Amino acid sequence: MKIERKSHGIDEGDVFYVEPRVALSQGATRRIIRRVIPLVITALLASGATLGYVKYTTPEHFGLVFALKAASGKVALTADQLHDLVVGEGLNVSWLGPEVGARYALLSISRERNYVRYLPGGDGLTDAGANFRVVGTYDVQNAFFATQQQGRAADAVGFTNADGNAVFYKTASPLSVYVGIKNTDDQIELFNPVAGQALDDAKTPGKIKRIS
């Protein structure tokens, strides 16, 4: 019988064990398996933590603190930063595509309730007024049917747009228009301080896009 230093292929270090000249018994095999499995699990967890750390230390994100601030609407993001943050966190977010010269503020209430505020020229991050285009994404079960029903209320206008999605807005607040995306649970709110612009966006085919 001899003792050998064998590498087990995990970065935690080498395992020392006794290697018999004959085949291992079933009991010995089970003991070795019980010893190795925790090391494998530890390595996998360490790998996952490393991936998360790398995701938030690239130049675009400047660390985890930056990401947390960005998801609470406190950073004027580029289009690429917005995309990376949404995809990296697995958020359900729709928008109207990039706007020349603009930046974007993301307010994430939850994975299924998110807002993108357009900042023309990158200005207005701290402006709390209703002065900018905003796209809200909400989790609404059977969004098409729910939006269609809302559009049938006495104080509302409802129709189906060219994309086959249900649209409605309340006559008392026409600056906000809601779109229920067919075959999904996504209801999109389009707000624009310019009268009629949100409605035009809701009518334009392919205007609303999910960030993915």
Q: What does the pLDDT look like over 92-124, one tens digit per residue? A: 999 999 999 999 999 999 989 999 999 999 999
Q: Is residue 148 part of a domain?
A: yes
Q: Is residue 8 part of a domain?
A: no
- For the chain, the domain total comes to 2
Instruction: Tell me, yes or no, whether 33 and 98 share the same domain.
Output: no
Task: Report the distance separating Cα 58 and Cα 53, nearest Å.
Answer: 9
In 3-state terms, what secondary structure has residue 35? Answer: helix
Domain that holds residue 160: 64-210
Instruction: Tell me, yes or no, whether 26 and 87 share the same domain.
Output: no
pLDDT, tens only, 29-65: 555 445 544 444 334 333 333 333 334 444 444 577 8
> Measuring CA to CA, which residue among 170, 146, 162 is closest to residue 203?
162
> Measuring CA to CA, which residue among 131, 128, 119 is closest to residue 77?
119
Task: Report the distance separating Cα 177 and Cα 173, nearest Å.
Answer: 9
Mean pLDDT of the chain: 80
Instruction: Tell me the Cα Rg of the chain.
Output: 26
Long-range contact pairs involving 120-126 (C-beta distance under 8 Å, separation at least 24): 122/76, 125/74, 125/75, 125/76
Q: Is residue 14 part of a domain?
A: no
Instruction: Tell me, yes or no, whether 88 and 128 share the same domain.
Output: yes
> What is the pTM assigned to this prediction?
0.72
Q: Is residue 5 part of a domain?
A: no
